[in-house]
């Protein structure tokens, strides 16, 4: 087996407008919305840390950057108040959010020009090596974490690795879909990707979700898309252009990860995540059971 370098950098694109969560996102960035007991960004961060990521690159805007810095920074006055009040458990929760500022990096995406553009904004921090991309609005319940599972596949096969899910054929027009060459039921190899194909044109029903391990070759194609930029710059198109065996091309694998993904970018997925995570805690289970009994 080829010995690969570790992947230590993850990009978190969080510069979108989150219009589906208005009015909350008028003042609270989507990644700060809590699911049960912690904000979406915290789940993403925990998954990244578990996978061995040490450098965290946020693509954000000027308004939200200070909030992220505060969330991952140390808050001495809060620590002192909690200590004085003997709130040890709370102190621990707060300390778990802190990241060494030397490992936090911020890039500003002036306008939300699409996910491809957001990743392109992180170029200076990840150039020259493979890196991970995590969309915090996809909350994934998995053990080991989804990114850890993907890194195992990447260590074996290299190239680009993305997390995938089967979707009903009538919904392919909402996702990036794989053009599959071979599929063993867990890992699918693809020769290309199609962004939001109509159900009749979709080459498969395997859709990409918000976890990627990308080869730096993707930047060559993002650069080209930037040159001809008009509308949104799609990440899937740039990744698709890197797939192959030619110069500057790499293999592409989709992993059906073991776990459950909640699309917290949509209100339905957000509510589902809250219910599922609340049910996983004995604290809320009884209440939910009673409540459901009354409604059914």
Q: Applying CB under 6 A, does 115 fall inside the site for ligand UTP? A: yes
Q: Applying CB under 6 A, does 14 fall inside the site for ligand UTP? A: yes
- Percentages helix, strand, coil for the chain (3-state, rounded to 5) are 40, 25, 35
Cβ atoms within 10 Å, residue 137: 26
Q: How far is the CB of 116 from ligand UTP (least distance, A)?
A: 8
Residues 136-155 that bind ligand UTP (CB under 6 A): 136-137
What's the CA gap between 136 and 91, in Å, rounded?
A: 24
All residues at 6 or more sequence positions from 250 whose CB lies less than 8 Å from its CB, including other chains: 158, 159, 160, 215, 217, 242, 243, 244
Give me the residue label for tokens 């989507």.
Answer: 30
What's the CA gap between 34 and 16, in Å, rounded?
A: 17
Give me the torsion for CA of 221, 131, 176, 24, rounded to 10°.
Answer: -110
Give whichever of 30 and 261 is closer to ligand UTP, judged by the CB atom: 30
Strands (E) across the chain are located at 9-13, 34-35, 38-39, 55-60, 104-108, 131-134, 138-141, 160-166, 176-183, 187-195, 206-214, 252-256, 260-263
List the one residue from 135, 190, 206, 255 that touches ligand UTP (CB under 6 A): 135
Give whichever of 24 and 78 is closer to ligand UTP, judged by the CB atom: 24
Give me the residue label for tokens 């006055």.
Answer: 77
Give whichever of 53 and 82 is closer to ligand UTP, judged by the CB atom: 53
Q: How far is the CB of 140 from ligand UTP (least distance, A)?
A: 14
Number of residues that bind ligand UTP (CB under 6 A): 21
Q: How far is the CB of 191 from ligand UTP (least distance, A)?
A: 25
- Nearest in space to 12 (alpha carbons), one of 34, 40, 35: 40
Q: Applying CB under 6 A, does 157 fall inside the site for ligand UTP? A: no
Q: 34-35 and 38-39: which strand pairing?
A: antiparallel
Give whichever of 82 and 147 is closer to ligand UTP, judged by the CB atom: 147
Q: How far is the CB of 277 from ligand UTP (least distance, A)?
A: 19
Cβ atoms within 10 Å, residue 238: 25
Q: Applying CB under 6 A, does 113 fall inside the site for ligand UTP? A: yes
Residue 60's H or E segment, with its range, is strand 55-60
Residues 238-267 that bind ligand UTP (CB under 6 A): 265
Write the binding mask 92 to 111 for ligand UTP: x where contact by CB under 6 A, - elsewhere: -----------------x--
Residues 189-208 that bind ligand UTP (CB under 6 A): none
Q: How far is the CB of 12 from ligand UTP (least distance, A)?
A: 7
- Residue number with the smallest Cβ distance to ligand UTP: 16
Residues 20-39 that bind ligand UTP (CB under 6 A): 20, 30
Residue 262's H or E segment, with its range, is strand 260-263
Q: How far is the CB of 236 from ligand UTP (least distance, A)?
A: 12
Give whichever of 18 and 192 is closer to ligand UTP, judged by the CB atom: 18
Q: Applying CB under 6 A, does 15 fall inside the site for ligand UTP? A: yes
Q: Which residues pair with 165 in a beta bridge?
A: 207
Q: Extract the tokens encoding 12.
A: 């978190």
Q: How far is the CB of 77 from ligand UTP (least distance, A)?
A: 30
Residues 48-87 that bind ligand UTP (CB under 6 A): 59
Chain residues binding ligand UTP by CB under 6 A are 13-20, 30, 59, 109, 112-115, 117-118, 135-137, 265
């Amino acid at each position: 087996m080829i010995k690969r370098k570790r992947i230590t950098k993850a990009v978190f694109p969080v510069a979108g407008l989150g219009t589906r969560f208005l009015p909350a996102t008028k003042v609270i960035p989507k990644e700060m919305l809590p699911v049960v007991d912690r904000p979406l960004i915290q789940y993403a961060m925990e998954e990244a840390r578990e996978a061995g990521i040490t450098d965290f690159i946020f693509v954000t805007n000027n308004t939200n950057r200070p909030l992220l810095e505060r969330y991952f920074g140390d808050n001495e006055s809060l620590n002192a108040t909690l200590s004085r009040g003997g709130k040890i458990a709370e102190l621990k929760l707060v300390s778990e959010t802190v990241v060494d500022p030397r490992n936090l990096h911020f890039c500003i995406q002036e306008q939300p020009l699409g996910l491809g553009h957001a990743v392109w904004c992180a170029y200076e921090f990840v150039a020259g090596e493979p890196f991970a991309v995590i969309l915090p609005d996809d909350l994934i319940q998995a053990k080991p974490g989804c990114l850890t599972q993907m890194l195992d596949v990447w260590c074996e096969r290299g190239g680009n690795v993305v997390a995938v899910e089967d979707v009903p054929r009538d919904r392919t027009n909402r996702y990036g879909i794989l053009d599959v060459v071979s599929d063993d039921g867990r890992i699918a190899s693809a020769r290309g990707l199609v962004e939001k194909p109509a159900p009749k044109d979709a080459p498969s029903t395997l859709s990409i979700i918000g976890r990627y391990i990308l080869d730096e070759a993707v930047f060559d194609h993002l650069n080209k898309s930037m040159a001809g930029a008009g509308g949104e710059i799609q990440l899937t198109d740039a990744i698709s252009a890197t797939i192959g065996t030619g110069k500057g091309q790499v293999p592409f694998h989709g992993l059906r990860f073991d776990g459950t993904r909640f699309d917290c970018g949509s209100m339905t997925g957000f509510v589902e995540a809250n219910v599922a995570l609340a049910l996983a805690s004995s604290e809320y289970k009884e209440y939910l059971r009673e409540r459901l009994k009354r409604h059914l």
